[in-house]
Amino acid sequence: MITVKEFKNKYLGEIGTEVRDKYEQELKVELLAEQIKQLRKERNLTQEQLGELVGVQRAQISKLENNTGNVTISTLMKIFGALKAKVTFEIEKENFELV
């Protein structure tokens, strides 16, 4: 039996490696998409209705919820505004040196 962390380290590499960082980023986007879908359903809105509130087509909401398309930060903010949800961002600075 191994932990999830050990599994990730073994099959994706340590945190900081390109493959692992890409995986972690994609996971965060997938979780964000799922939160949007859950909020929309909690608010009893269809994808069409949410799209109308935000000013985008239903297809764009569908792509976002299924993590198959790109979306701008501006559109994300509009979506969360329409869903009456507060969004916060946390910025974590890494060490940076010019070479």
Q: Which domains are delineated in the chain?
A: 11-82 (1.10.260.40)
**pLDDT of 45-90, one tens digit each?**
999 999 999 999 999 999 999 988 788 889 889 999 999 998 887 8
CA torsion sign for 24, 26, 28, 31 is negative
Residue with tokens 């916060």: 88
Determine the pLDDT at residue 88: 83
For residue 18, pLDDT over 90 is answered with: no
26 band by pLDDT with thresholds 50, 70 and 90: confident
CA distance 49 to 82: 10
Using CA atoms, how far apart are residues 64 and 48, in angstroms rounded to an integer? 13
Q: Is the pLDDT of residue 23 over 80?
A: no
